[in-house]
Amino acid sequence: MATASNIDDLLQCPICLDILHDPKVLDCQHTFCANCLKVHHTSSSRRSGSSNTIDCPTCRLRSNLINNSIDSLPGNYIVQWAPGARALYIRGDFNNWQEKQYPLTRDEWGKWTITIPPLADGSPAIKHGQAIKLLVETPSGELVDRLCPWSRYVQQTENSKVFHGVFYNPPDDQIYKFKHPQPKKKDRLKIYEAHVGISSWKGEVATYENFRVNVLPRIVRQGYNTVQLMAVMEHAYYASFGYQVTSFFAASSRYGTPEELKALVDEAHRYGLTVLLDIVHSHACKNTYDGINMFDGTRGCFFHDNARGYHDLWDSRCFNYMEREVMRFLLSNIRYWLEEFKFDGFRFDGVSSMLYHSHGIAHGFSGSYNEYFGLATDTDSFNYLQLANYVSQTLYPESITIAEEVSGMPALCRPINEGGAGFDYRLAMAIPDVWIKLLKEKKDEDWNVGDLTWTLVNRRWSEKNIAYAESHDQALVGDKTIAHWLFDSQIYTHMQVLAERTLIVERGLALHKMIRLLTYALGGEGWLNFEGNEFGHPEWLDFPRIGNNDSYHYARRLFYLADDEALRYKYFNAWDQAMNACEEAYKWLSAKNTYISRRHEDDKIVVFERGNQGLLFIFNFHPTKSFTDYRIGCAQPGKYKIVLNSDSRSFDGLDRVDNEQIFTAEDYKWDERPFSFKVYTPNRTAIVLAVIDEMK
C-alpha cells in the first residue's frame, strides 16, 4: 500500500493528494496509463485547488451532508462549483423566491459558498421538502435558474414539465433503516433486467412499492439471483428509458421517494438478490433548466468546451474526465448509490461510446488489437473507468460492475493491476444481433450452426461475459422481441392453449425455448433476461410521447399473461424457471471448461459439454428431420439421465422423448470424445443430460 510519503512520487492516482492521503484510500496500481495520469494530476491540481469542502469520492461521506452541497446543522452551509459564473444565489420556498437575498461567495477555484444562519427557534432556514433553486449570473450577465447538480430529490411541478429541486432532509423517523445484510459477491449471475415504471399491467407509471410487493417475488420464483434496475437516476424525459440523465444523485421521483427505493433494495436483499443499478456516466442530457448542462452559463462546466463535449448521435453532452471536479462529482456518485441505497454494483451504460473519440459511430471492429490502442482511443475515459471500478471495488469489495461494450476492447474485464479497466463482466452484445439477423433474413434450413456457435463462444480470453438473447434494446418500438419475430401476428390470436396449433405456433414454441437455452448455456458466464421476455411478452415498448398521444398502452408489462392457465405464455414461463433451476443444480455458468463436439450443418445438430458434472447439451435445429440412434460423443463414462427437455409436455412440447430413459456411455470414441452413446433427437428440440451420481 502506498503511504503519504511516497504517493507524490508514484503518482498512481489522478485524484489530488488531499484525497489520496486519506487512510481509507488504497494506492492505485502502477499499470494505470502513467503519462495520462501525470498530466491529469498536474492539470487538475492547478485548476481546482485542494479544498475538501465538497465531499471527496473516496473519503467518508460527511454525516451531515444532505445534497453533498447543502448541510443543515445548525444552519444551511452551501457550496457549489461554478467556475464560469459571475454570481450565484440560492432561493426557494424558504425565502419566497427572492432572487438576490442570499448571494454566495467565490474562491479562486470557482467554488461558491454561503452559510444561511438558523431561524430564531434554532431550526435551519431551508427545511425538508422545500423547493429550491440556484440563480446563476452567467458570463454574459443573464440570470438563469439552475438545479443543484447534487440534488437528491427533484420533482416536476403540476403545471410544468420542468423539474425543481427539493431539499431532501427527512427527520430520522422517516429515514428508512436497512434490516437485511447485502449478499456476498456471486460467481454465477442470473440477471433480471427491469424498469420500475413499466412493471405493472396498468397504463401508468408504476412505483417502487409496486415493484417491491409484486415484482420481486416473481423474480425470486423464476430463479434469478440478481435484479438490474434501469432508469432510476432522474431523467426529465420519461421516454428516454432513463438514458438521458438530468439529476445524477436523485432517485427518480416518478416512482416514489428515496426511502421507498431503499425499502425495495432492502427487500431484495431479504430474498438474497443482488441489486445492480444501471448507471449512466457516459454522457448527460443537454437540458439546462433541469439538467447540469450550462450549469454556470458556460459550455465547459462538467463537459468539454468543444466538439468533443457533444454526442451528435445521442444529442447529449460528454463529460470532461480530466477535470478534477468532474471526477469528484462522478466518483462521489458511485459511492453515493453504493452507500446510501445499498446497491451491490453497476451496469455501466454506453462504455463503447466513452472509449473512442468517434464514440464508435460508423466504426466496424474486427477484433484486431491495433484497432484499440491508437489515437482513436479516449484514454481519459479509460482511466476514468479504471478509477470508477477501483473506487467501487475498493470501498465495497463485494460490489459487481458490468460494462455495456460492443467493440471488444481487450482487457476491459481484467484487473486494474494488469492494465485492465477492472470490470467483472461485459455484455455479450453480438449475440442478440445474430439471433435477430437469423430470424429476419434466413430460412431455418439455411441457418449456419457453426457460425452461430462461434458467435456464442467468441470472447476475450479470461474475460467474463453476460449472455442474453435479447434485452430492453430489442423490445423498443421499431424492433421486435424474439417471440414477436417468431409468432408474428399469431402472438395475438393463437396463444390460447385450445387454439389451433399452426405451423407458425409450432415453430415459435420450439425455437423460443431453444434460442434462450443455447444462449444461456454457451454464451457466457452470466445470463440476463429483460422483464417479460421470460414468458414471451407479446408487445414492444413504447413510452408515452407526442408521437403516440402520450399513451401508456405499450409502457407496461402484462404479467397476468404468464399466470393465465388458458394461455400458452405459461409454458414459456415454466421453461424459464426450469432453465434457472437446471443451472442452479449444475452450475454451468461458473464452469471453466466448454467443449463443442459437434456442429453438423446438414443435420443442424449442436452438441457440447460444459462443466465437470457430465453436463451434455444436444440441440436439433433442423425444421423437419428427427434422428433415431444419433451417436453423441461425451467425455465421461457412466450412465446419463435427461435433466431438461424442451419437448416435454410441461413446456407445451410434443412429448416425443422419454424423460425416464437412461443412457449408458460406451467405450467408443466419437467426435474426438473418448465415450459415446445413441439418442433420439427430434427436430427443433433441446435436451440436456447429466451423468448419474451412483453414490446418491
Is 158 catalytic? The answer is no
Give Cβ neighbours of residue 565 (< 8 Å, ≥ 6 apart). Answer: 497
Residue among 234, 266, 296, 349 flagged as catalytic = 349
Do the Cβ atoms of 89 and 135 come closer than 8 Å? Answer: yes
Within 10 A of 158 (CB to CB), how many other CB atoms are there? 5
Among the listed residues 462, 476, 485, the one whose alpha carbon sits nearest the alpha carbon of residue 542: 476
Residue 655: count other Cβ atoms within 10 Å of its Cβ: 14
- Tell me the HSE value of 669 on the side-chain side, using a 13 A CA sphere: 2
DSSP 319: B
Half-sphere exposure of 167 (CA within 13 A, CB side): 24
Return phi, psi of residue 220, to 5°: -65, -45
C-alpha 211/C-alpha 601 separation (Å) is: 45
To which residue does cell 457453426 refer?
450
Rounded to whole angstroms, the Cα distance separating 335 from 331 reads: 6
Instruction: Please list the residues that pair with 476 across neighbouring strands.
Output: 541
Closest CA to 88 of 111, 65, 72, 117: 111
Cα separation of 532 and 548, whole Å? 22
Q: What angle do CA 496, 566, 514 make, to 5 degrees?
A: 65
Contact 612, 593 (CB under 8 A): yes
Cell matching residue 135? 440563480
349 flagged as catalytic = yes
Cell numbers found for residue 509: 414454441
SS3 596: strand
Q: Which of 193, 278, 325, 404 is catalytic?
A: 404
Report strand pairing: 247-251 vs 310-311. Answer: unpaired
Q: Given its phi and psi angles, is residue 367 left (phi above 0), alpha (psi -120 to 50 degrees) or beta? A: left
| CA–CA distance, 439 with 452 (Å, rounded to integer) | 12
Inter-residue contact 269 to 196 (CB < 8 Å): no
> With contact defined as beta carbons under 8 Å apart, do 58 and 331 qualify?
yes
- Cβ atoms within 10 Å of 492's Cβ, excluding its own: 11
Radius of gyration of the chain (CA): 27
Characterize the bridge pairing of strands 189-195 and 526-530. Answer: parallel
Do 583 and 525 contact (CB within 8 A), yes or no? no
* DSSP summary character for residue 175: S
Short-list 33, 161, 144, CA closest to 85: 144
Write a three-state SS string for 38-105: HHHHHHHHHHHCCCCCCCCCCCCCCCCECCCCEECCCCEEEEEECCCCCEEEEEEHHHCCCCCCCECE
| Rounded distance between C-alpha atoms, residue 305 and residue 342, angstroms | 35
Record the cell numbers describing residue 244, joined without a space.
438521458
536 torsion bin: left (phi>0), alpha (psi -120 to 50), beta (else)? left
Spatial CA neighbour of 289 closest among 154, 145, 173: 145
C-alpha distances out from residue 223 to 275, 573, 585, Å: 15, 11, 11
Residue that is written with C-alpha cell 460528454 in the block: 318
Catalytic annotation, residues: 349, 404
